[in-house]
Structure 1
Amino acid sequence: MISAESLVLFVLASVALGATPGPNVALIVGTSLKHGRRAGILTAMGVNVGLIAQLVLVAAGLTYVVEAFSRNFDLVRYAGAAYLLWLAILQWRSAGKGLDAPAPSAHAAFGRGLAVAFANPKTLLFHAAFLPQFVTDTAHPGPQIALLAAIFAAIALVGDVLWAVVADKARAALANRFTRIADRVSAGILLGGAAILLAAGRR
């Protein structure tokens, strides 16, 4: 059984991590700024399905998958950075077309989130190292890691949806006359997410 102290520390650490912008948040915020709350939340859902898949792999102890990501760390993150850069270019080129510009389909928004979640290998490696730090029963770590993974996934989902909602509020506040600015800010955020992936190291 996880101690109350370890659980509280884990929740606080998870909340802090969820509030820290990264490639996933950049995509969610950029999508909400450009296409609104629905697209942003669908993107967040895709991100979190990817996150849950990574957490399941860690909780299941599939170390060979983690090792595979580690061996191909640079290749995966470069691909993810290129994808975010491509989205940023599309966003920039469509700047000023109005708040009613066609939004991506539900499948496209969800798929973008899923793709970017898996394009950040550091997330999988991080969880493989992060979750065990809060396990108190090292003889039977499986159930505790599964519980911690579920808690982290719930916190991450709430945090990402909040990012989407806040970005949508900012989009609405800008109104049509500031749409070009909002679109270019959105493109800049996506570009920042690509830069974060490019700058990511193994440490």
Structure 2
Amino acid sequence: MGVLKATSSWLSGGVPFPRRRSEHGWVLGITDFWTYVLGTAAIVLLPGPNSIFVLSVAAQRGVRAGYRAAFGVFLGDTVLMVLAAAGVASLLQAYPPIFMVVKYAGGAYLAWVGLGIIRSAWRKWRARGTANGSTVGDAIAHSEQAPDNTMVRPWPLEQTGSQSAGSAVPSGADAGDETARRRGADRAGMQRPFRRALIVSLLNPKAILFVVSFFIQFVEPGYAHPALSFLVLGAVLQFFSALYLSGLIFGGQFLAGQFRRRRRLSAAASTGIGVLFVGFGVKLATATAG
């Protein structure tokens, strides 16, 4: 089995294993299970690109899109855990060029996402007066035509009776075409959070090394089925991640209400998130495998 080979390679490579069993022994090859639970809960609460991305998507596009982004994070984390169990971490450490390529690609992608958020926030700031002088349709069309709207787009403007008399409302076939176009754009937008969250998760070689260095401390080296141990540890991690991301998603809905009433606050918050993503990209690009 690949996991057994990986386990033997870790042993031969000098990776430290906990030789001491807990007072109550080990179950399913896991030692000090409750210590692992506490450590996992603390680690999940640390802010990172995945959690901030999910919060941003939920605040901008709602609960459904937020959970699409969360599912992208879940899948990405699952893939990384499988790769870690299969011995990819040893490969990254043995061949630094592979680690360098992945980390630079991940850093560049995070920075690109951050710059896209900043550009969209700047457009939102400049267009904050659209509600007073333009139609709702014009505002929506502007947000949908933006080339970088895959992450953030201006808040939908609410139609009121104070709109100018010259506001045009599509009807008949034009209204049907407009509705279909908007629904198609919404469906496309709902797919992008999942894809982007997945890419953000996967393009992080440090995450693979972290999974190995953290998980392996709680796996009994003499256990005959280490894959089962990794499965249980991974399930615990995903459980806490699901709880945390769900809290962020519904918290993002509260922020959405605040941002709809305060467009400048929305633009400023989006700019801050963009700067964070650029910072995450720089941090990843300068990371080392050790």
TM-score by length of 1: 0.83
2:235 matched to which residue of 1? 150
Check conservation: 1:120, 1:197, Cα contact below 8 A. no
2:253 is the counterpart of 1:168: yes
Q: 1:58 aligns with which of 75, 84, 95?
A: 84
CA separation of 1:75 and 1:164: change in aligned 2, threshold 3 A: farther
2:203 is the counterpart of 1:115: no
Larger Rg: 2
Deviation of 1:30 after TM superposition, in Å, equals: 2.4
Question: In 1, Cα distance between the equivalents of 2:76 and 2:46?
Answer: 18
Greater displacement, 100-109 / 45-54: 100-109
2:149 is the counterpart of 1:99: no
1:184 matched to which residue of 2? 268
Query: Residue 136 of structure 1: SS of its match in structure 2?
Result: coil
CA separation of 1:197 and 1:13: change in aligned 2, threshold 3 A: farther
Question: In 1, Cα distance between the equivalents of 2:263 and 2:102?
Answer: 33
Check conservation: 1:31, 1:186, Cα contact below 8 A. no
Query: Residue 32 of structure 2: SS of its match in structure 1?
Result: helix
Matched residue pairs, number? 199
2:63 is the counterpart of 1:37: yes
Residues 87-140 of structure 1 show CA distances to partners (whole Å, capped at 9, x for unaligned) of 223323333264228766222110000000011111111001111111235332
Question: In 2, Cα distance between the equivalents of 1:75 and 1:181?
Answer: 37
CA separation of 1:88 and 1:159: change in aligned 2, threshold 3 A: same
1:134 matched to which residue of 2? 218
Residues 8-46 of structure 1 show CA distances to partners (whole Å, capped at 9, x for unaligned) of 111111111111001212222222233233222211110
Residues 137-196 of structure 1 show CA distances to partners (whole Å, capped at 9, x for unaligned) of 5332332222111111221122122222212311212323x2242233223224313313
Paired residue type of 2:255 = A
Root mean square deviation of aligned Cα = 2.6
Question: In 2, Cα distance between the equivalents of 1:126 and 1:4?
Answer: 18
Deviation of 1:2 after TM superposition, in Å, equals: 5.1
Question: In 2, Cα distance between the equivalents of 1:183 and 1:32?
Answer: 15
Check conservation: 2:111, 2:281, Cα contact below 8 A. no
Question: In 2, Cα distance between the equivalents of 1:113 and 1:155?
Answer: 18
Question: In 2, Cα distance between the equivalents of 1:187 and 1:36?
Answer: 19
TM-score by length of 2: 0.61
Residues 42-63 of structure 1 show CA distances to partners (whole Å, capped at 9, x for unaligned) of 111101100011112233xx11
Question: In 2, Cα distance between the equivalents of 1:9 and 1:174?
Answer: 40
Question: In 1, Cα distance between the equivalents of 2:76 and 2:260?
Answer: 33
| Stretches of structure 1 lacking an aligned partner (at least 5 in a row) | none
Structure number with higher helix proportion: 1
Structure 1 moving runs of 4+ over 4 Å: 2-5, 101-104
Percent of pairs with identical residues: 26
